[in-house]
Amino acid sequence: MNTFWLKVAGVGVLVVAVLIVGSKFMGGEKTDKPVQEETSTRAASANVYEQDARDHELLNAPIQLAPNEVPPIEADVNNESVQQEPVSIPLPEFAKLNEAQLVEVEKLWELAETSFKIGRKPMVTFGNCVRYARQIIQGFPNTEYAIRAKRMLNEIVEMRDRYKEQYHITDEELDMGAFQ
């Protein structure tokens, strides 16, 4: 049996081992760059999680009627300024959903919200987010989820104006009516 190739492989392994051991002893100063990179990566990932939490709060904020832009009326009575009592804003009324519809719309909403958070990441698009939001708006009009989906589409358009043309988002899809 020819042992020549076996000897060549053994010498190669020995050379690699010598190089590794030699670099450990003769490597010079130890730098802290890998530790700094690790901490900066942790800081960046914390920012990603914080952004996701802010997105969740923004998209799931309670829906309210938009306040009237009329300033309070002041009347001069004997040089005293009397201000009108603030009127409480009534809570909006939405269409009622049965259990099956509620499960379906919540599933679509979770998909849309997750797609929105993922769409913020580099090299990812908002395509799925827009598709799920449209399904909610078309399938469940006059519901709280439709307003949330419109709020989400408004956030996407506010990020970059070109997204409106890119995803063919219409003004009707962005119109939240009297809601915030």
Predicted confidence (pLDDT) per residue in 63-111, tens digit: 877 665 444 444 444 555 555 555 555 556 788 889 999 999 999 999 9
Q: How far is Cα of residue 44 from the mean position of the Cα atoms in its chain?
A: 15
In a domain, 24, yes or no: no
Residues whose CB is less than 8 angstroms from the CB of residue 91 and which lie 6 or more positions away in sequence, other chains included? 64, 65
In a domain, 103, yes or no: yes
pLDDT tens for 13-68 read: 998 888 888 777 776 555 444 444 444 444 455 688 888 888 888 888 888 776 65
Length of the chain: 180
Predicted TM-score (pTM) above 0.75: no
In a domain, 26, yes or no: no
In a domain, 101, yes or no: yes
Our count of domains for the chain comes to: 1
Q: Which residue has the tokens 């009627």?
A: 65
In a domain, 158, yes or no: yes
For 132-143, what is the mean pLDDT? 92
In a domain, 28, yes or no: no
Segments forming the whole domain that contains residue 171: 95-180
